[in-house]
Structure formats: C-alpha cells, structure tokens
C-alpha cells in the first residue's frame, strides 16, 4: 500500500503524529509512507524512520488557494496513493487528496469535510494529541488500544557530528539547551529572568557547561535578554539554526529546559533529559512523552486557562516556578536517563 500523510503545521503536532506512522508501518511493513509537509515541519518528518519521502508543500499556505491545491492534487494523483491520512482539521487541507482521487481519505470530523474525506473518525471524548492521531490507524468501530507508543525521532550520528562541527560545539563538555520561546503566547513562557537565573545555576553546578539557546529569529531578543541577565557566556543561536540543525543539537543535548512548545516534544522524542515548564496549558493533554521528562506545573486554581496572555495579569503559574526547582528537576531527569559519555557530575 502507498500511503500519504498530510502533515499538521506545528512542530509539536508533527512530533505527536509519529506513533500513527509507526502503527501504520507495523500494519503494513511492505508499504510506503510519504508525508506532504510545509517547510515549518518537514525536518521533523525527515527524522522519522517510517517516512519514505517528505514532499514539500511550501506553495500551499493557510489560504484556500484553490488553483494551487488542484495542481498539487494532480501531482499527487501521479504518485498513485492508496490512502491518505489528513491530520489538520480544516476542509482546505483535505482538498488536494480529494482532487488526487486517492481512494481512501481518512481523517477526523472537521469543518465541512463530508465528501472530501470518506473515512471520518469522531472521538467520544477529547484525546491527548498522540492518541488523537493514532486513532486514525484503526477502523472507525475499533477501540484504540490502551497503550499507544510514544513519539520517537532519530538522526544519524554523521548528521549530529556535522551540526556539532558547524556550530563549534565542544565534544567533551556538557550541552544544555534552553528553549525560552512558545509560539502560542506569553502565558506559556517562563520569564526571561528565571531562564537567566537557571543558566547561572547550571554554570555553577556543571563545570565547562555549554549553554545554547534555541528558537526562531523572533525569539532572538528574548534570548539576548536572558544572556544579558545571566552574566554567563550563553550561545544565542535563535534564528541562526535551521529547524533541522536545531533538531540535531537537541538530539545530542545532555539536558533541555523548555516551555510547553514544539521543541519540548522534540526533546522528548529524542529521549533527552528535560524539564518542561507549563503555564496556561495542560500537561495532561500535551505532555512530553518521555519517561525521563520532568514536568513542572503548579496546577493553580485558575489553570489551565489556555489563554495566550494571563487574564489575571500576574502569570503566577509560571512566575512562581523558581529557577532552583527547575535545576533540581533537571538533575532528577539526568539521573533517570544516561546522558551519554560526557561526565556531567557536579
């Protein structure tokens, strides 16, 4: 069987769709799985062993673009897919597979997709995202198994070495990664002063530690502020790495501290020791799926509020997580998972 997956647009969602691909491959080991993905998530799928080919979809943006989607549909038709899994919930995301006349077009009930999809799943209750996507691997009338695998990403050692060399990362010193961004909004961002204080604590605890700040170009000012407040020689790589390079740096990090963000899910899928800081969102819905992950969530009476900005104006859910607590959580995560050959003992 030839399968096509229409990817979601967010890094975290892309990571959380990996178990679906794993289940599909398990059911059809001889089949192929291609993924149609925008550049914003393509590298995530390139780090999945189950994927045969990642097809770029840069020319199709969030707009309707009917003509472009028809053209894309004709290109997909030439590839003769047997089935297509449409992960975004929009009607427009289901148009190209419909134009391509792919026989089985599978997805969740979404906006006006009757006809566009011919296998539509409806969950009786909201599921965590991993299970939400994994559901599509099974017939509509079959219950989801109790245990769905956690997302796993993989990059070859040669790629890790190449990226390490490009960014002049020392081989014999621990790498700690801070990811202070969160696309959703400030109510998911631990304050810069806390990241800065944590960086200073890390430098005290681990000699010769290399602290990298990763994120997009728009997070660069945030990282500059953290570096200035910390008084430490932090490497601000926000906007300097491609997503593919950021994945390779996270994959070899000895520890990752992030907000609830796409890079948090990346760190979990590479099984890195990590601390995930949750504010207005809910770790029960989108947790980092890794036994080594430590989640810090205060579970205040007002949380989760799922707001982009704190409606109460104080952001206590994040402000009240002290840097020392994040350091201890990271130490606990390091103990749970071997971080490789580099000595990271205090």
- Which of the ranges 8-16, 148-156, 162-170, 306-314 carries the binding residues for ligand SF4, by CB under 6 A? 306-314
Residues 184-243 that bind ligand SF4 (CB under 6 A): 187
Inter-residue contact 229 to 222 (CB < 8 Å): no
Q: Which is nearer to ligand SF4, 131 or 316 (CB)?
A: 316
Nearest alpha-carbon partner for 166 in 251, 255, 240: 240
Among 34, 50, 219, 307, contact with ligand SF4 (rule: CB under 6 A): 307
Does residue 321 belong to the site contacting ligand SF4 (CB under 6 A)? no
Task: Provide the minimum distance between the beta carbon of 278 and ligand SF4 in the complex, in angstroms, as a whole number.
Answer: 9
Interface with ligand SF4 includes 310 (CB under 6 A)?
Answer: yes
Q: In terms of CB distance, is 93 or 259 closer to ligand SF4? A: 259
* Of 2-10, 107-115, 152-160, 307-315: span binding ligand SF4 (CB under 6 A): 307-315
Instruction: Choose, by CB under 6 A, the member of 316, 328, 337, 342 that binds ligand SF4.
Output: 316
The whole-angstrom separation of Cα 202 and Cα 173 is 13
Which listed range, 94-102, 165-173, 249-257, 297-305, lies at the site for ligand SF4 (CB under 6 A)? 297-305
The first and second tokens of residue 315, run together, are: 């952001």
Query: Does 300 help bind ligand SF4 (rule: CB under 6 A)?
Result: yes
- Residue placing its CB nearer to ligand SF4 in the complex, 162 or 299: 299
Among 19, 42, 279, 283, binds ligand SF4 (CB under 6 A): 279
CB under 6 A: which stretch of 16-24, 207-215, 251-259, 312-320 binds ligand SF4?
312-320
Contact residues for 43 (Cβ-Cβ < 8 A; gap 6+): 242, 243, 244, 247
Q: Per residue, what are the HEC states of the chain?
A: CEEEEECCCCHHHHHHCHHHHHHHHHHCCCCEEEEEECCCCHHHHHCCCCCCEEEECCCCCCCCCHHHHHHHHHHHHCCCCCEEEECCCCCHHHHHHHHCCCCEEEEECCCCCECCECEEECCCCCCCHHHHHHHHHCCCCCCCCCCCCCCCCCCCHHHHHHHHHHCCCCCCCCEEEEECCCCCCHHHCCCHHHHHHHHHHHHHHCCCCEEEECCCHHHHHHHHHHHHHHCCCCEECCCCCCHHHHHHHHHCCCEEEEECCHHHHHHHHCCCCEEEECCCCCCCCCCCCCCCEEEECCCCCCCCCCCCCCCCCCCHHHHCCCHHHHHHHHHHHHHHCCCCCCCCCC
Residues touching ligand SF4, count (CB under 6 A): 14
**With respect to ligand SF4, which residue has the nearer C-beta, 81 or 195?**
195
Of 42-50, 130-138, 144-152, 309-317, the segment contacting ligand SF4 by CB under 6 A is 309-317
- Nearest CB to ligand SF4, comparing residues 100 and 317: 317
Using rule CB under 6 A, residue 277 touches ligand SF4: no
Q: Does 182 bind ligand SF4 (CB under 6 A)?
A: no
Among 3, 230, 280, 290, binds ligand SF4 (CB under 6 A): 280
Least separation in angstroms between residue 316's CB and ligand SF4 is 5
Minimum distance of ligand SF4 from residue 138's CB (angstroms): 35
> Contact residues for ligand SF4 (CB under 6 A)?
187, 279-280, 300, 302-303, 305, 307, 310-312, 315-317
């Amino acid at each position: 069987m030839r399968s096509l997956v229409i990817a979601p647009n967010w890094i975290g969602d892309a990571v959380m769709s990996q178990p679906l691909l794993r289940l599909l491959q398990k059911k059809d080991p001889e089949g192929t799985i291609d993924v149609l993905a925008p550049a914003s998530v393509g590298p995530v799928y390139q780090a999945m062993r189950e994927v045969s080919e990642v097809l770029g979809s840069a020319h199709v943006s969030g707009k309707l673009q009917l003509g472009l989607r028809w053209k894309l549909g004709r290109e997909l038709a030439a590839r003769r897919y047997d089935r297509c899994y449409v992960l975004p919930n929009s009607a427009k995301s289901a148009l190209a597979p419909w134009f391509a006349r792919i026989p089985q077009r599978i997805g969740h009930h979404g906006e006006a997709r009757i006809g566009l999809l011919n296998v539509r799943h409806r969950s009786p209750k909201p599921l965590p995202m991993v299970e939400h996507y994994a559901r599509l691997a099974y017939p509509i009338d079959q219950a989801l198994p109790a245990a769905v695998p956690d997302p796993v990403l993989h990059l070859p050692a040669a790629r890790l070495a190449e990226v390490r060399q490009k960014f002049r990362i020392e081989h014999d010193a621990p790498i700690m990664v801070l990811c202070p961004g969160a696309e959703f909004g400030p109510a998911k961002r631990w304050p810069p002063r806390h990241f800065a204080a944590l960086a200073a604590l890390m430098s005290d605890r681990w000699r010769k530690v290399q602290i990298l700040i990763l994120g997009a170009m728009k997070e660069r000012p945030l990282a500059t502020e953290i570096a200035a407040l910390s008084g430490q020689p932090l490497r601000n790589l926000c906007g300097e790495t491609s997503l593919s390079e950021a994945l390779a740096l996270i994959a070899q990090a000895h520890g990752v501290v992030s907000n609830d963000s796409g890079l948090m899910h990346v760190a979990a899928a590479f099984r890195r020791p990590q601390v995930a800081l949750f504010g207005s969102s809910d770790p029960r819905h989108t947790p980092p799926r890794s036994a080594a992950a430590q989640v810090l969530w205060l579970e205040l009476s007002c949380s989760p509020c799922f707001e982009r900005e704190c409606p109460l104006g104080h952001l206590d859910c994040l402000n009240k997580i002290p840097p020392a607590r994040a350091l201890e959580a990271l130490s606990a995560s390091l103990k749970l998972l071997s971080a490789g050959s580099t000595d990271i003992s205090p």
